[in-house]
Each structure stands twice: as C-alpha cells, then as structure tokens.
C-alpha cells in the first residue's frame, strides 16, 4: 500500500518528523529488566510483549482465516482464501508500521540508507526497544550509550553479508522481512526468510 505520508520519509533522517519519545508520554514507565527477567528469557519476552503498546489486536485490527490446516508433508498452499481476510484502515498508518512499509520499496542506495536510519530512529522510541537495550546492556553485549546502540542495530540489520557463495549480497533485514531466493545448489526456486505478516496481508490491503 502506497501512502502520501511516505513521501516525507524520503527526506534525510534529521529533517523527518518522528513520534513522541515513549518515555515522555508514559511518565514513570520502567524499562530496566528485573533480576528474574535477566535470569529467564521467557520472562523477558513476556515483558517485551507487555511493553508493546503498538501491537495490533485480533478482531479489532485484523481478521485472519487459517483455513482447515494441512499435514506436515503437504508442501503447497492448502488454503483457498488469503490468510488476512480483513485489516483495519489505520494499521499501516502507525509510525513504525508505516516506516517499515516504506523500507520495502526500492529507491536509490542513498535513499535506502535514509529510510534505514529513520526506521531505527522510529522504533528506538518504542517501549520494547528501550527495554531490549537495557536488557542487553545488563547482559554486557551492547553499548550503554543509546545512540551507539542504535548504530549497532542499524549495522546488524542493514550491513551487507555474503550468502550462497556470493559476497556482500544480502542483509539480515532483507532475509527476515523481505525474503530471498535461495542461491545456486540450495533450491533456486525456494524463498528463504520472509517472516513478515505485513506482506502476507498485502492482498487485503490492496483490495481496501
């Protein structure tokens, strides 16, 4: 889905408008992980879920049709209808969702970098990412400075790496959210990655 609002995302990151910092909106919100959460990944994930005030709600924001299911050995798509039968009009207008969709368009390389930095800046204002930073600081695996953490996140997601015998041809973001065709000898007709519900809902969005 194209939106006129995305045109503003093509500006340099410093000239863009972002949502309010979640820390200023919810005074007293604590992003520091507890000892129990540091000792239990399951509890830390549950805390991340609780902090995600931007998540969409089934029945309210979307409706999915899971069909009748299929056996493990069945490889094809057994569903007769789209997974998403309905998606709320305002879902993809949410700042983080909208910036994510803008990243799926192919612009020039400089423009891509602008969008990558702006996307990380937007999500860095949300509760889950603030909590994630504090959690990883306590684990000693990321810098304590938040700006350095955002640079590290940008590098992890968007720096190029080699895949299928080719050098510097892929990124973690592309693999996870956009999907890739497997390389030579790996099943060239198969898609790898693509763990992205937004694109799965694209048919419904286009019909709206």
**pLDDT-derived band at 139, boundaries 50, 70, 90:** very high
Residues 6+ apart with CB under 8 A from 86: 62, 63, 204
In sign, the C-alpha dihedral spanning 66, 69, 75, 81 is: negative
Q: What does the mean pLDDT of the chain come to?
A: 78
Q: How many domains does the chain have?
A: 1
- Give me the pLDDT at residue 70, please: 76
pLDDT for the residue 30:
84
**Domain assignment of residue 140, given as a range:** 4-158+197-207
Is residue 175, in this structure, part of any structural domain at all? no
pLDDT digit string, tens, across residues 156-189: 988 887 655 555 567 888 777 776 655 555 545 5
- pTM of the prediction? 0.69
Within a domain: residue 169? no
Does residue 103 sit in helix, strand or coil? helix
> Does residue 171 fall inside a structural domain?
no
DSSP category for residue 58? B
Q: What does the pLDDT average to over 3-30?
A: 71
pLDDT in tens, 113-131: 888 888 899 999 999 999 9
Contact 21, 125 (CB under 8 A): yes
Task: Kindly state the tokens that stand for 106.
Answer: 């192919």
DSSP reduced 3-state for 188: coil
Position 167 in a domain? no
Take residue 79 and report the two structure tokens written for it: 């569903």
């Amino acid at each position: 889905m194209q939106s006129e609002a995305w045109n503003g995302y093509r500006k340099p990151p410093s000239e863009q408008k972002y949502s309010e910092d979640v820390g200023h909106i919810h005074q007293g919100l604590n992003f520091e992980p507890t000892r129990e959460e540091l000792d239990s990944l399951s509890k830390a994930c549950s805390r991340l879920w609780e902090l995600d005030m931007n998540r969409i709600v089934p029945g309210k924001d979307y409706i999915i049709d899971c069909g009748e299911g299929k056996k493990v050995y069945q490889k094809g798509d057994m569903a007769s209808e789209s997974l998403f039968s309905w998606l709320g009009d305002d879902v993809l207008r949410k700042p983080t969702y909208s910036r994510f969709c803008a990243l799926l368009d192919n612009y020039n390389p400089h423009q891509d970098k602008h969008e990558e930095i702006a996307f990380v800046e937007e999500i860095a204002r949300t509760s889950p990412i603030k909590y994630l930073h504090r959690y990883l600081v306590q684990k000693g695996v990321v810098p304590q400075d938040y700006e350095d953490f955002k640079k590290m996140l940008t590098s992890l997601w968007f720096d190029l790496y080699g895949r299928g015998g080719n050098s510097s041809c892929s990124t973690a973001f592309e693999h996870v959210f956009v999907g890739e065709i497997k390389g030579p000898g790996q099943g060239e007709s198969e898609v790898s990655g693509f763990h992205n519900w937004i694109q799965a809902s694209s048919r419904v969005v286009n019909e709206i």
